[in-house]
Structure 1
Amino acid sequence: TFAWFGATSSKGISMFCIGLIAIAFLLCASLLQPSFASHAAGDRLKHFYKRILRKDVKRCPDKTKLLPNCTDCILGLQKAPGSESCDEFIAGTKAIRRELKMITERRFGNKTVADRPFGVYPYLERPDFLIRQITFGYIMSSPDDGIPPVRHVMDIGAYYNPINLFLSPEVCPESVTVIEPILDALSVYVPCASDHSKHTHFMILPVTFHNFVLFAASYPKPDALVCIGCDAHYGTSRKLLETTFAKPFTLYLEYPLGYKPDEVFEEMNGQEKGERLLYKLLIQPNTTATPYTKRMMKVIHYTEVNATSSDRN
């Protein structure tokens, strides 16, 4: 269960519909066996991995290379000495994965889930936390006069819950870029469910956002930027969120209240020039797995660069 506090939204975003979807999901999840309910997103991820094994999915002959040219390594990978394939992770990604795997094994021992070797935070896959992805996925799948249809989606720090798993099957963006060091590198063209003549380029880049920024110009500019569980200390800063990409774009931001580094996100309310707050929701999952149970969700649309953004952290 979780508490759902006051919310605001712009014209066109139906709070009633979002509320019904959230409640229905939580009620259904509560009827499932705990082992299944706690890994609901894991099933979504497994289905996605099975989907991309079909013959209609295109990838490079060397799957470690990036479409469409199939010459460059997928960001986060590099060629080992004497190899033509990008068959090893870059040093920074290796270090992150090594540390998280050690923490996971120390924390859970022989209870570590085989397909979650870096699953330090299993509660993030429980229904009351997945409501964050479900809510943003619903909003992104239901464009209106406040939020344009998504074409290029970027998800920063997705954990095992990439946002594409929560979009409606009818939604077919041109690209989805997932920036997450614990996921394996991927570059595939998947046909749209609604129109097989079109496809989505799904990319999983096993790097940090700080590393990605150095190469951002080589990747699609997002019009939908997602940061769930955003962490201004270990993850990305407000400045990077607001200034890395040219406007316009819509930011889907979620973060814990009471976590001091994230106080900078509290000031982001769409009140500056060229900004508009489209949605705001406070939730509180019922868990003891983390002290940061009060969570804030915001959707902010940016139409131009804020002149004072360079002074922000």
Structure 2
Amino acid sequence: MRENRSRAVRLEAFGGPEVLEVQEVPTPQPGPGQIRVRVTAAGLNPMDWVMTADAETAARFGLTLPTGFGTDYAGVVDEVGPEVTDFAEGDRVFGSALSRAIADYVVVDASGETPANEAHHTPPEVDDRTAATLTIAGRTASAALAVVALGPQDTVLIGGAAGGVGVFAVQLARLTGARVLGTGSAPEFLRELGAEPLAYGDGLEDRVRALAPGKITAAIDLHGTETALTAQKLGVPDARICTIAAQLEGIPGANGANAAPGALAEIAGLVAAGRLRIPIAATFPVAQIRTATELQAARHVHGKVVIDL
């Protein structure tokens, strides 16, 4: 790259993976209270392609064309702006940069007070690929778990348990002592996470009854509404059902913005201590961003998809 130029994934039009391009752009410069991060890895999430699919959705996130792509990142601080005291050049960091993370460099606020424009110190025990998966999925899972408030006396049904948020939700639920039933198409993978696997689709209500005749007490739907509606039929109170990808009247929803302030630090600590494992389903070089996004958007990935930079 020419001096003061670097790579970034950009969109000149809203749409699917086919509109993603790796472009040469001016390298961003940090201002007061900001740091610049040399990105080494960026994790993909469903929200990345959902919010750039059309102009109406993009507007709800404050995005206009041309725009970047991806939100979760990990890397190394390579320049510190004035008035920054908590970070230094060479510090390993992770965090989120809304729809601009898949780039050689991102500039974010050092204060960490603004979600999706933040940096946090990466624990020494956590590699960059793993750190790049934590922010959105980890916070979302934590927020959903807070809604249903699990304990050792609970049996929880988690729908979409093998996906990017699911791998966090299942393990965090198990750490509360709850019994976890998880729907998905990869039973052995779910067992490795600590869930008792169930097939989704027609007959789910009967399969849950057969596996948990003592009744389930909570449910988290990470995909749509099937799990939530099944839980209602099985007598779970609405207050102990949570959705993240759809809305149902009377059912509380959750997203990463609802997570408690210390949720991300707690998750990073659990990963560092070896108590939370984040499976990386696939990694791609940035040149293959379209292929990586197509894989992630198909919603059949077991674990997380990461872009290497």
Task: Please say whether Structure 1 and Structure 2 have the same fold, judged by a TM-score greater than 0.5.
Answer: no
Shorter-normalised TM range: 0.3 to 0.5
Give the TM-score of the pair, scaled to structure 2.
0.36
